[in-house]
Structure 1
Amino acid sequence: MPVPHRSHEQSREFNGHGFDSLTLEQLVCPVCFGALRLDLRDSRIHCVDCKRGYPLIDGIPVLIPERAVCREMPDSDRDNYCRA
C-alpha cells in the first residue's frame, strides 16, 4: 500500500516563535554565509561559523549585521567567534 505524500505545508515544523524549520534551512548569515541555527533560549538565530546572533521579532528573522550580537565565549576560543 503506497504511503501518502505529505505536502510542503504539512512537513513544516513550527516552533514557539512562529518560525518554521524549512525557511531556516534556506537562510545564511549575511556576514560570512554560514549556516544558521535557531536557539529558543534567547529567541535568536545564531550563525554556526562566526557565532553572530540575529534577533527574531514576531517570528521574523532580522538578518542585519548591525543588529547582531556576539555570543560570549571563553578567551581560548574568542579568535574563532564573531570574525569576518
Structure 2
Amino acid sequence: MLSFHSENMETAGQALHDNLNEVLDDQTHFKLRETQGRAFAEDLNGRVMAWSIGETVVVLLIGIGQVLVLRSFFTEKKTSGLTIR
C-alpha cells in the first residue's frame, strides 16, 4: 500500500512539474509577443509623429503662401516715372 501512495505522489509530482513547465513556456511566448508588439507600436508611433509634423509644416507653408498672395493683391503697385496720358 505504501508503494501505491508513493507512485501516486510521484505521478502527481511529475504532472505538476509538466504543467509548470508548460506555464513557463506560455509565459515566455507571451512575453516575446508583448515585446514584439511594443516594438511595433513604438515604431508606428514614431512614423505617425513624423507624418504629423510633415503635415503641419506643409499646412503652415501653404498658409504663409496664401497670406503673401493675398497681400500682393492689395498692395499698390508703384508706377515708373513715365505716365501715359
TM over 0.5: no
Please state which band the TM-score falls in when normalised by the shorter chain. Answer: under 0.3
| Structure index of larger Rg | 2
Structure with greater proportional strand content: 1
Normalised TM-score (structure 2): 0.21
Q: Higher relative contact order by CA 8 Å / sep ≥ 6: 1 or 2? A: 1
